[in-house]
Chain A
Amino acid sequence: MTDQAPQTEAQTAHRSLYAPDARTRRRNAAERRFRLYGLIAVAVGLGFLAVLLTTIVRNGLPAFTQTHVTLEVALPEAVVDPAGTRDPALMAKVYTFGYEPLLDSALAAAVAGQGIDTDMTPARLGRILSAGAPAQVRRAVLADPSLAGQSVTFRLLASSRVDGYLKGRVARADLAQDRNLDPQHLDIVDELRVAGIVRRGFNAGFITGADASESRPEQAGIGVAALGSVFMMLVVLALALPFGVAAAIYLEEFAPKNRLTDVIEVNISNLAAVPSIVFGILGLAAFIQVAHLPQSAPLVGGLVLTLMTLPRIIIPARAALTAVPPSIREAALGVGASKTQAVFHHVLPLAMPGILTGIIIGLAQALGETAPLLLIGMIGFVASTYPDGVASGFLDPNSAMPAQIYEWAKRADPAYYERAWGGIVVLLVFLLGMNLIAVILRRRFERRW
């Protein structure tokens, strides 16, 4: 054995601790590089989050303001109530295009009243207004027939081009090819804005309103779709809560160690990773093809999302049950409770906050899910009216927030992109709210054993 040789070699290798050799310097440089890569990776991840959130907020906030034109509209009896009866049923025979000239001339009068010179006809000038504005006036008149024969001040929607101009989305150069609006219109808008007639304000209609047709993005809102989402979440909650909790209780407290239990456990963990679109296929085949449930109904959407969410709820629910120490069960059994009583009277109440947290997070995931909804028909039509009752809320065709956002993203008019981003802001506010509840619940009831 050559005991001496390495020893002397070692002596030369181990010089003073204070003077690092080249190799150590190299190794330390590699160490710093490695550390830097890690730091960069964390920074990139956080950077993506920051970019994503700022993009959403920057593009989405404009949807929460909308341009309106405040006009005093004369409502001559001869036009709005030709019969002179003030009977809404008869007045309804005057369609919206009967109101159009009234608005056009009101606008022309306002323009003239500001001393603005224009050679445009009132009808062309009227394109500054939304195509939905006459309907707005008509609705007001039908609701209050006494308005006929008076002059009333209305706050009317401006067209999406004008709105885009005020938000900086539309420039004069963009209008060269536009059939609806000319740069001259924008000059007039500029002057009306100075006069306070055209004004950008908070857009409550976006939050509460219904979807609108392709050509009227200024009217589109996410309210109806949000209600559709709420109905779907009610279905998910009503089904996923009992089934998820029961499944977790069974697996955690009662399941014998056998084949069936193994199959169920493996199944749940795999089901949690099945792509969501496959659940859409299941919903299409099972609920629509076989069970003939109605397409586009929140009930069906809720059923599909329930099946998708269940495994994602069972897993945290089991964790919450495991966290309850066995001493609680033993104490209950020790005073003569049956196993079922021990679980339902003692273990479950203690695990409930944890279970609820998991359910809320599962619900939040379901709320944002889009792909399965596309397959059961929750897109492709205009969700234009609110359901007129609870039953129709579950059964009538509706959209859901993510499906509505998808629908807007596919439309050609860029004004709808703004709506899509705005819809995302609303969706994220919902998600944030749910997650906050989950966090508070966890903080409030968290127990350390």
Chain B
Amino acid sequence: MTADAPKILARNVQVHYADTHAIKDVDADIADRTVTAFIGPSGCGKSTFLRCLNRMNDTIDICRVSGRIELDGEDIYDRKVDPVRLRARVGMVFQKPNPFPKSIYDNIAYGPRIHGLARSRADLDEIVETALRRGAIWDEVKDRLDAPGTGLSGGQQQRLCIARAVATEPEVLLMDEPCSALDPIATDQVENLIDELRSRYSVVIVTHSMQQAARVSQKTAFFHLGNLVEFGDTDQIFTNPQDPRTEAYISGRIG
């Protein structure tokens, strides 16, 4: 594996929902330790494509995926691959904060426990603390780890969910509009966190806000009607789009 090989490589990806062709022939390379943003009008397929990357679409009966998606050179849709192990390596954060109805500690410890990452209680304590620190929420909750995670504010809940995803030591973090349910201050906190996460993980973020994509990402992919229209450096996409549809979207004429 060479240093600049993509973390995730997608070729020829098609997604069908029953009779709808939701993703059409998408190729994409997603780099390690980079924030990649998926933008596009609603219903363009950006979330669907994101959910292909850790096979969350498997949970939807009518959804069929074809094509090739590789993680570190291994086909994640290969029959030998257990989606459970894949998802441990490709974590996910959802649009609406969804802490489990358990304590803050147990929320974080859930992943490490099921994957058997801790050898002892002390080990687990350390994993929880590290994850909460990486989720930039440690200082706010360290005195009430036994309190229910559902009692936190929206922004705190979302950072808790990010910390929960980080705790299983993933290599890729997928974020599906992680700030859409948050107020501006909480959004700012989460965006700062995403920027920090870049040093360790490959982060893919779906966002409906172009400003957010410009603020947090280095790479941007523009989806339209199930097609990946343009994929490149964020600066280039926002200042000098190659495709007229991208330009139309950026300048607010479609979307």
A and B touch in the complex (CB under 8 A): yes
Chain A contacts to B: CB under 8 angstroms: 1-3, 6-7, 9-10, 13-14, 16-18, 20, 23-24, 27-28
CB contact between A17 and one of B76, B117, B127, B133 (< 8 Å): that residue: B76
CA distance A16 to B127 in the complex (A): 23
Please tell me if B233 contacts chain A, counting CB pairs below 8 Å: no
Known: A14-B88, A14-B169, A17-B86. A6 touches B130 (CB 8 A): yes
Report the Cα distance A28→B84, complex, angstroms.
9
Q: A6-B169, A23-B116 known; A18 and B84 CB under 8 Å?
A: no
**What's the nearest-Cβ distance from chain A to residue B129, in Å?**
9
Chain B 88-116 interface residues, beta-carbon cutoff 8 Å to A: 88-89, 114-116
Tell me if B81 is interfacial: C-beta within 8 Å of chain A: yes
**Other-chain contact of B71, A17, A20, A23 (Cβ < 8 Å):** A17
Q: In the assembly, what is the distance between CA of A295 and CA of B1, in Å?
A: 91
Do A18 and B169 have beta carbons less than 8 Å apart? no
- Min CB distance B239 to A, Å, is 35
Q: How far is the CA of A131 from the CA of B81 in the complex (A)?
A: 78
Q: Shortest Cβ distance from A192 into chain B, in angstroms? A: 65
B181-207, CB under 8 A of A: which get 1 and which 0?
000000000000000000010000000
Could you name 12 residue pairs across A and B whose Cβ atoms are closer than 8 Å? Answer: A3-B130, A6-B169, A7-B169, A9-B117, A9-B169, A14-B89, A17-B71, A17-B78, A17-B80, A17-B81, A17-B82, A27-B114
Q: Which A residues are CB-close (under 8 A) to B86?
A: 17
Chain A hits for B169, CB < 8 A: 6-7, 9-10, 13-14
What CA separation (Å) do A2 and B117 show in the bound complex? 16
Q: Is B247 an interface residue (CB 8 A)?
A: no
- In this complex, the member of A2, A6, A20 whose beta carbon has the largest number of chain B beta carbons within 10 angstroms is A6
Does B171 sit at the interface, judged by CB under 8 A? yes
Asked if A27 and B88 make an inter-chain contact with CB atoms under 8 angstroms apart, the answer reads no
Give the shortest distance, in Å, between A7 (CB) and chain B (any CB): 8
Q: Which residues of A have CB within 8 Å of B126?
A: 2
Please, which residue of chain A has its CB at the minimum distance from the CB of B200? A7
Which listed residue (B85, B89, B114, B133) contacts A20, Cβ 8 A? B85
Q: Is the CB of B130 within 8 A of A1?
A: yes
B74 touches A16 (CB 8 A): yes
Q: How many A-B residue pairs have CB under 8 A?
A: 47
CB distance from A34 to the nearest CB of B (A): 14
Q: Which of A1, A3, A14, A28 contacts B171 (CB 8 A)?
A: A14
Residues in A whose Cβ lies below 8 Å from that of B116: 23
Per the bound structure, the CA–CA distance linking A1 and B88 in Å amounts to 23
* B108 CB to nearest A CB, Å: 13
Q: How many residues of B contact A (CB 8 A)?
A: 23
**Complex contacts, B115 vs chain A, CB 8 Å:** 13, 23
Least CB distance, B75 to chain A, in whole angstroms? 8
Bound Cα distance from A1 to B129, whole angstroms? 10
Which chain A residue has the least Cβ–Cβ distance from B88?
A14
Q: Are B88 and A17 in contact (CB under 8 A)?
A: no
What A residues does B89 contact at CB under 8 A? 14, 17
Contacts of A6 in B (CB 8 A): 127, 130, 169
Q: Is the CB of B130 within 8 A of A27?
A: no
Residues of B within 8 A of A28 (CB): 82, 84
Most chain A beta carbons < 10 A, residue from B82, B117, B127, B171: B82
- Alpha-carbon distance between A3 and B78 when the two chains are bound, in angstroms: 33
Report the nearest B residue to A15, measured CB to CB: B85
> Which listed residue (B74, B117, B130) contacts A13, Cβ 8 A?
B117
Do residues A20 and B88 form an inter-chain contact, with CB atoms below 8 A?
no
Return chain B residues, CB-CB under 8 Å to A23.
115-116
Take A6-B130, A10-B169, A13-B169 as given contacts and tell me if A18 and B81 are in contact as well, using a CB distance cutoff of 8 Å.
Answer: yes
Closest chain A residue to B89 by CB distance?
A: A14
Provide the residues of chain B in CB contact with A18, threshold 8 Å: 74, 78, 80-81
In chain A, what residue has the closest Cβ to B117?
A: A13
- Kindly list 4 other residue pairs between chains A and B, CB separation below 8 angstroms, not including A17-B74, A20-B82: A1-B130, A3-B130, A13-B169, A24-B84
Query: Whole-angstrom distance between the alpha carbons of A369 and B126 in the complex?
Result: 62
- In the bound assembly, the distance between CA atoms of A1 and B84 in angstroms comes to 29
Whole-angstrom distance between the alpha carbons of A20 and B169 in the complex? 17
CB distance from B221 to the nearest CB of A (A): 24
A20, B130: Cα distance in complex, Å: 27
Min distance, Cβ B136 to any Cβ of chain A, angstroms: 13
CB distance from A30 to the nearest CB of B (A): 11
Residues of chain B lying within 8 A (CB to CB) of residue A24: 82, 84-85
Cα distance, A249 to B168, chains bound together (Å): 55
Q: How far is the CA of A13 from the CA of B85 in the complex (A)?
A: 10
In the complex, chain A residues whose CB is within 8 Å of the CB of B74: 16-18
Pick the 8 closest A-B CB pairs, nearest first: A10-B169, A17-B74, A18-B80, A17-B81, A23-B116, A14-B89, A24-B85, A20-B82
Against A, the Cβ 8 Å flags (1 = close, 0 = not) of B118-156 are 000000001100100100000000000000000000000
Q: How far is the CA of A1 from the CA of B126 in the complex (A)?
A: 10
A26 → chain B, closest Cβ, in Å?
Answer: 9
A66 to chain B, nearest CB (A): 54
- Whole-angstrom distance between the Cβ of A28 and the nearest chain B Cβ: 7
Contacts known (A20-B85, A27-B114); A1 close to B133, Cβ less than 8 A: yes
CB neighbors of A among B60-92 (8 A): 71, 74, 76, 78, 80-82, 84-86, 88-89
